Every structure is written in structure tokens, then in C-alpha cells.
Amino acid sequence: MKNRIKLYFLIILASIYFIFVVLSFFFPDYFLTSKQITKKDIILYHRYLSDDNLNGRYPSTTDSKKVQNWIISFFKKWNYKPLFDNQYFLEFSFSGNYKKSGINELQVIHCKSNCIASIEPLGFSSSGEIVGKVIDGNYCIEENKDLSNLLKKISNPKEYIVICKRLGPEKDKNKKQIISLENKYKNINRLNFKGVLFLKDKENPIKIEQFQVSSKGNTIAAFFDNEEYIEIYKKILKPDQEVRIVVNYEREKLTGRNLGFSLKPVRENQKIIYIGAHYDHLGKGIAGFSLGPFGEIYNGADDNASGVAGVMEIAEFFSNEKIPEDWNLIFLFFDAEEWGLLGSKEFVHSKYISKNAVAMLNFDMIGRYKQSLQLQGKDTGDITWNEILEKAVQKIQSKYLLQVQYVKGGSGPSDHTMFYNKGIPVLFFFTGIHEDYHKPTDDYYKINYIKMVEILELAKEIIIQIMNSKNIPKYVKAQEENKHYTYNIRLGIIPSNYFSDQGIEVGGFVEDAPIGKSGIQIGDIIIKIENKEIQNIHNLMEFLQNAKLGIKYKITYRRNNQILETYTELIGR
């Protein structure tokens, strides 16, 4: 009998152990995480956020809701309070990618068979239906006098639908120029053609989701796959052949969700520190922002699974910390940052922004540390603010080999900008742009988790120093670069140091950009284009305002201690 009881007891213990192991496997953060900031914790959170199963965390999808629910369950576990009237989320609406709606087709008039083909609408024009005569415009660029010669053959462009090849003519053997369809369209619309039909030309198919439209015109625009519909393509090029084009598209209606968690119940006179990161990313491609092919998963391991994992780790540390009675920490996760800081804009204009906000710490792309942490916002606060930062940095640097580069101003390409515009001192934690920025190759195995620990230790120390300071830091308006630039030409690189005054470091290349084959390599620093000194991103923008396509510009760049030169053409936006 005793042996049987002992056996039952061992079976129960083994069962409990088995259940614990299984739960630890499926919910590791609930059983294995530490109250301290550790590499192990960061990896656990980060791997979930950057997994293929989330399909790039595109807003208003089931995958985005998985992330939301996962983050909410984490904060519930650590007894954080909901920020938004007993809810953990605040919803807002915005417009997403362009999408086809209804019929989109080309029909050959007076045709007996194989007369209809599907087409892809382009967001340069309004939806609509037109009937017009077809005329071949070749490449539809003025370098070849294509449109000028076309106008000599016809009396009224408003009667015609012009056919345009997708790219530009070959300049080198088997290499055609990359000319944007939008630039071609603007000329066609200016000349009052009724419609334009672009052809495929051995490139990947074009989808309307790939277009970010700067302005619209009256000329109806569509894309026609002449490889798939080669027979109907031959029919529409007969003299005075008429076709009917129907185009229907609209913008996605998306719902964003900001998440908010408070360490304590929010009270009117509390001094608040906001700690935030955006959790959305590009899904399988967003027009105007994706720098890789559409259709592949953009995991955004650095942008911004790294920032989200970091904020969660900071929140875990402070969950049982005794902070001063009159202080509170609020943790925020923004949606739709990739669409233009929409989530943070929604929050700072809501009733939930505190009048007693002392500071905002924003974490965006903190996972690819190379030479330094770029810390923006030192000059958004007073002497007290500066003393706090310097003391915290000095303390962390006595323990870790963490280099800190202070960046001027309070405005940048992330959510802290909205808080700075509200008169709140900000800190932007950022480790720089890299060759995988906004590409499907931004994956977890490239993350520097050791340096993430050091960066979060610094952030933790800054938060502690702010709350323990005798004086409350005050907002100071920093000196900003106020110039506004408009340009439709790009150099074709991805800068890795937006905030430097030592030249533009090449972090990567736009796909198929000529500069990628000029001999310039990732890590090189561009210091001059023609006679224009390039010290920072603003100098580059100034140059691009008056630059032109089809011209080879001399690029002077630095590699290690060597000054080199090369030539490259530019690309359209």
C-alpha cells in the first residue's frame, strides 16, 4: 500500500513537472523571465514580435490584433492599469493602401473575340470610364521627343489613350533606364491626353497597392500586362482603334489601435513619464515606404520589434519598483507610425495626454548598434535635464562600453516628435539606419541583444534619475532645421546617419539604383556631389531639389582614410 501511494505521489509530481514544462514552452515569458533587464528576456519578447507568423504586423489585421492581445496580457500579468477609461486601447481611423474595387478592364470596341482584358488601376487619376482612340507613345519621355513627335501626328490629345512602355530606353547594353510612371504620367496629364496605358516590359507585375500618389490628374491611368495579353495588345494598336477603359479603386479604411498602460491609477497631480514605441510595420509592403519587393513578409525585427521588446523589458523592471508617490510611469505602444506617426499624433491630441507630463522616452530601432547609440533630445530640456542625462550616461559608461552620440533637435522620423511639439522634453533612442531598413531582410538574427541590454540599462537609469531629481526638468525649444524641401529625385542610397554633420554614411541601396553599381559600398561616407559639400541630410536634400535625371553626377566619398570619386545617375522617387 505504501509503495502504491509513493508511486501515485511520484506520478502526480511528474505530471505537475510535465505541465510546467509544457506551459514554459508555450508561454516562456510567464515562467522564465527576470525582474532585471536581461538578454534572455529581450530575446523571448523580440522573437515573438519578429516572427513570420505575424506577417509584418500590418495595421487593422488579425495579426496586428494578436500582437495587441499579447502585449495586453503581458501588462495584465504585471498588474498595470488600463489608460483609456478602463480600456487598454484607443482606436482611430486612417486610410491605407489603394485597392481595386469593382470592374477594372480594357475592352476593344468592334471586336468579335478575345476582346476584354483585365487591367490594374493606377492611383494617379480618379476612378472612371473612358472610350478613346489608341496611339503608341513609345517610352513617353521627352529625352526621345516621344510626346512631342506624338502631338505632331494628332490634332486633339483629348481623343486619345496613349500606350507607354514602362521603363526608359537602353543606355547600356541590356540595361534600361528606371523612370517612374508617375513622372511620365504628369507630362501625359499636362498635355491633356484622355488616358494612358502602361505596359509591363519584363519586370515584376505592378499592383495599385505599390503606389503612393503625390497628386492626381484628369487623365485615366492603368497598367496593362502585355505579356499575358499579347494577342489583345496587337489588336488595340490598329489605326484609329477605339478601346473602352474602366478603372475603379479606393483607399483601404483601416482602424489603428494605440495601447496604454499605467503603473499606478492615474491621478490629476501626478508627474508623468511616458515610455513608448510603435508596434506596427509594413506587412507585405506599403507604397512609398517599402524598399524591397511587395508580397514578401517585412518582419521589422529592428523596426520596431526591438523598441517594443525594450519597452516591455523596462515595464517589467518597474512593475514592482517603489517609485515616488507623486510620480507615475505610462507605457505606450503606437499603431500606424509607418504611415506618418498617426498613432502618436492621435494620442497627443486626445484627452489622455497629461498636463503634468515631464518627459517622453521613445524607442525606435534600437537593435542594430554599430558604433554608438544616437540619443536625440538633450537640448529639449533645461540644465536639470542635461545634468540628469550626463549623470546617467556617465554611470552606465562606467559599467559598459556604450558610446552615446547626442543628436540635435527634438524632431525626427519617429513618435517622440509629436510629444516634443506638445512642449514635452523628449529622448529618442536609435541605433541608426542600415541596409535592411524597410526590407524583408530586417530579421531577428541580425539584432545585437547585448547592446540592447546596455541601452535599456541607460534608459532605466535616466527614468530613475528624473524621478529622484530635486528639480523637475523643464521643456526648452531646441534649434531645428526649419527648411522645407520638395524634390522628385533620389540619390538611391539608404543613409545610416541622418543626424551626422560628417557626411552621409551609406547604409544600403534602393533596389536597382545606379549608385549601387558605381563602386560605392555600404559604410562609405559621401562628402560631395559635384561641387556641393554634403555634410548632412539637409545638404543632400538641397542638392536634390535642382537635380535632374539622365545626368551622371560626380560623387566624392570617403572610405576609411581614403578619398575616392565615382559617377552615378539619379533615380525618380
The overall average pLDDT reported for the chain is 88
Same fold across 29-97+253-468 and 489-572? no
Q: Are 203 and 178 in contact (CB under 8 A)?
A: no
| 83 φψ region: left (φ > 0), alpha (ψ -120 to 50), beta (else) | alpha
Among 253-267, 321-335, 486-500, 539-553, whose mean pLDDT is lowest? 486-500
Pick from 363, 448, 353, 352: nearest CA to 412 = 363
Please compute the mean of the pLDDT values over residues 461-484 and round it to a whole number: 86
The CATH number of the structural domain formed by 102-247 is 3.50.30.30
Prior bond of 304 cis (ω within 30°):
yes
Which of 502 and 390 is assigned the larger pLDDT? Answer: 390
Among 155-159, 207-211, 337-341, 480-484, whose mean pLDDT is lowest? 480-484
High-pLDDT (> 70) share of the chain, %: 88
- The secondary structure of 475-544 as a DSSP string is B-PPP--------SEE--EEES-TT-SS-EEEEEE-TT-GGGGTT--TT-EEEEETTEE--SHHHHHHHH
Q: Are 572 and 488 in contact (CB under 8 A)?
A: yes
Distance, CA of 377 to CA of 406 (rounded, Å): 8
- Look at strands 120-121 and 562-568 and give their pairing: unpaired
- The secondary structure of 121-189 as a DSSP string is E-TTB--EEEEEEEEE-TT--GGGTHHHHHHHH-S-GGGEEEEE-SS--EEETTEE----HHHHHHHHH
pLDDT digits (tens, 9 = 90+) for 404-428: 999 888 988 899 999 999 999 999 9
E strand or H helix that includes residue 246: strand 242-247
Which of 240 and 564 is assigned the larger pLDDT? Answer: 564
E strand or H helix that includes residue 342: helix 342-348
Domain boundaries, the chain: 29-97+253-468, 102-247, 489-572
Q: Are 139 and 171 in contact (CB under 8 A)?
A: no
Superfamily of chain region 29-97+253-468: Zn peptidases (3.40.630.10)
Identify the sign of the CA torsion 105, 182, 168, 435.
Answer: negative
Q: What is the CA radius of gyration of the chain?
A: 28
Cell of 172: 547600356
Name the maximum alpha-carbon separation found in the chain: 107
Res 573 pLDDT > 80: no
Distance, CA of 6 to CA of 2 (rounded, Å): 6
Res 494 pLDDT > 80: no
CATH number among 1.10.3720.10, 3.40.50.1360, 2.60.120.10, 2.30.42.10, domain 489-572: 2.30.42.10
Distance, CA of 58 to CA of 338 (rounded, Å): 10
pLDDT digits (tens, 9 = 90+) for 188-218: 999 999 999 998 766 667 788 887 776 788 9
Q: What is the pLDDT of residue 175?
A: 65
Q: Which residues of 243-264 are buried (b: 16+ CB within 10 A; e: fewer)?
A: bbbbbebeeeebebbbbbbbbe
E strand or H helix that includes residue 328: strand 327-334
Among 59-73, 216-230, 281-295, 480-494, whose mean pLDDT is lowest? 480-494
Q: What is the pLDDT of residue 537?
A: 76
Distance, CA of 197 to CA of 206 (rounded, Å): 12
Distance, CA of 184 to CA of 198 (rounded, Å): 10
566: helix, strand or coil: strand
